[in-house]
A = this chain, B = another copy of it.
Amino acid sequence: MTYPDIGHFVPRRREECGIFGIHGHPEAAKLTYFGLYALQHRGQESAGISVSDGCQVRDYKHMGLVSEVFKEEILKQLKGHLAIGHVRYSTTGSSLIANAQPFVVMHGGEYYAIAHNGNLVNAWNLRNELERRGSIFQSTMDTEVIVHLMAMNLGYGFEEALVKALGRVRGAYSIVMCSRNKLIGARDPKGFRPLCIGRLNDSYVLASETCALDLIEAAYVRDVEPGEIVVIDEHGLRSMKPFPVSRPAYCIFEFIYFARPDSSIFGQNVYLFRKRLGRLMAGENALTADITMPFPDSGNYAALGFAEASNIPLEMGIIRNHYVGRTFIQPTQAMRDFGVRIKLNPVRELLNGKRVIIVEDSIIRGTTTRTRINTIRDAGAKEVHMVVSCPPHRHPCPYGIDFSTKGELIAANHSVEQIRDFIGLDSLHYLSLEGLLKAAGTTTRNHNFCLACLTGDYPVPLEEVVRKDCFETF
């Protein structure tokens, strides 16, 4: 393991993750495996499961996809009726197995396992405070801060300690946690990240998205509410709401891109939401062309709506390769745009000579889009226009979605015309903020969404990281 150079010693930020928990099922680990399988898109870097049989706690976590990490013989050893699981995504090189989740500690004769989706804005300051009191951290994860805050307060009992710990952290979190006998779910007061409750016969299930319930054939019960803590044990499910109520801030980007189309989150189906985005784009822009086509698969659903509303016929003008994995061998020098072409190959016979409208979900840095447009032009397209199903991304996200830093967001310091030219389009059309909220069935006034990456209006203030002190002691 390589530990970071002190000069760059920053706890990791902005982690996209998927979480799952189940209580009261004899095959808890296996169902968690399938739950994570369904949530794989929320994190492809590592996967982990912790399971309790009421006495022993076992866990297994490793870098890789769920299907790579867990094999039959490993699942067999993860015996117990209570399990939580986690898939994790990271974009930086410092991705460590030590930072894989669930995070398990043994303390005072009990075990605690915790899995976390979101990002805390005051983790670094809390960590410094705790280290000065003598706490020793094993990882650079926000999650561990919550556990240490709990350990300080376990004298008050487990649930009170959890409430006290969550009372100190600020930012976005959806959490599943287990001790030897209890399953806990919690969501921050703003409800940035989704977390839902399902039921499978006598078992309770917690999951980031409903597609995980579908796969294991659990029935959707309700969402864990913003600011709610649910405690599940042999007596059933109890709810606590220890924090003051405020207006929610559901992440709109979960709808636009991140969640699975067959999931329902924040009370709505994702596929139908995206199709509405497509129809609204057609309404906002009157374009002429021979064919409509998505960049598959993220653009598919808006493209269906757009084609329907605009009457410009839909074609699958670019084919998504079935076998695209996560790593590639470096192509030879001469092979331009290779990384793009191996994933998406244009159908030359179809595109040649055509005027094309591309439907894209969003543009973050613009570089991938640019090379994709290149291959479309190489295939002979005569005109290439693009419609994007949300307003420009101009601001970084501190609540758990990694767009990379502000400097990399192309819209942060370029006009729409500049972006159009950079990408090499004949025209470029973003959906308006009003259109986006209309698709959500609400308005710019009354909505319950976080729109910070589009508007710069942050629902939870960012906290100054006091970095100096880490050099003081030595």
Which residues of A come within 8 Å of B, CB atoms?
1-7, 9, 27, 30-31, 33-34, 37-38, 40-41, 55-60, 65-67, 70-72, 75, 77, 104-111, 131-138, 147-148, 151-152, 154-155, 158, 180, 211, 214-217, 260-262, 264, 269, 271-272, 297, 300-301, 304, 308, 313-316, 319-323, 325, 327-332, 334-336, 338, 341-342, 345-350, 470-471, 473-474
Known: A300-B316, A314-B314, A323-B40. A5 touches B56 (CB 8 A): yes
Residue of B nearest to A327 (CB): B67
Residue of B nearest to A269 (CB): B349
Known: A1-B59, A262-B346, A314-B304. A107 touches B136 (CB 8 A): yes
9 closest A-B pairs by CB = A109-B470, A269-B349, A134-B152, A40-B323, A3-B57, A262-B319, A2-B58, A5-B56, A134-B151
> Given the complex, which residues of B lie within 8 Å of A77, measured CB to CB?
2
Assembly CA distance A254 to B194 (angstroms): 44
- Tell me, rounded to whole Å, the shortest Cβ–Cβ distance linking A274 to chain B: 10
**8 Å CB contact of A329 from B6, B71, B262:** B71
> Given the complex, which residues of B lie within 8 Å of A110, measured CB to CB?
6, 473-474
- Tell me, rounded to whole Å, the shortest Cβ–Cβ distance linking A118 to chain B: 21
Given contacts A65-B323, A110-B473, A133-B134, 13 further A-B contacts (CB under 8 A): A1-B58, A2-B57, A3-B56, A3-B59, A3-B104, A6-B180, A9-B106, A27-B332, A34-B331, A105-B138, A107-B131, A108-B132, A215-B338
- Tell me, rounded to whole Å, the shortest Cβ–Cβ distance linking A263 to chain B: 9
**8 Å CB contact of A108 from B27, B56, B131:** B131
Assembly CA distance A30 to B330 (angstroms): 9
> Given the complex, which residues of B lie within 8 Å of A313, measured CB to CB?
308
Known: A136-B107, A272-B350. A325 touches B67 (CB 8 A): yes
Contact in complex: A322, B347 (CB < 8 Å):
no
Chain A binding surface SS class: mixed
> Given the complex, which residues of B lie within 8 Å of A55, measured CB to CB?
5-7
- Tell me, rounded to whole Å, the shortest Cβ–Cβ distance linking A250 to chain B: 18
Contact in complex: B329, A106 (CB < 8 Å):
no
> Given the complex, which residues of B lie within 8 Å of A308, measured CB to CB?
313
> Given the complex, which residues of B lie within 8 Å of A136, measured CB to CB?
105, 107, 135-136, 138, 147-148, 151
**8 Å CB contact of A58 from B3, B321, B350:** B3
> Given the complex, which residues of B lie within 8 Å of A6, measured CB to CB?
55, 109-110, 180
Q: List 9 A-B contacts (CB under 8 A).
A: A9-B109, A67-B323, A72-B329, A109-B470, A109-B473, A215-B345, A260-B319, A262-B345, A262-B347
> Given the complex, which residues of B lie within 8 Å of A7, measured CB to CB?
55
Residue of B nearest to A111 (CB): B3
Known: A313-B308, A345-B214, A349-B271. A56 touches B4 (CB 8 A): yes
> Given the complex, which residues of B lie within 8 Å of A342, measured CB to CB?
34, 37-38, 215
Contact in complex: B322, A297 (CB < 8 Å):
yes
Residue of B nearest to A106 (CB): B3
Assembly CA distance A330 to B152 (angstroms): 43
Contact in complex: B304, A316 (CB < 8 Å):
yes
Contact in complex: A137, B1 (CB < 8 Å):
no
Known: A132-B108, A269-B347. A41 touches B214 (CB 8 A): no
**8 Å CB contact of A316 from B67, B135, B301, B323:** B301
Contact in complex: A261, B3 (CB < 8 Å):
no
> Given the complex, which residues of B lie within 8 Å of A335, measured CB to CB?
34, 216-217
Residue of B nearest to A33 (CB): B329
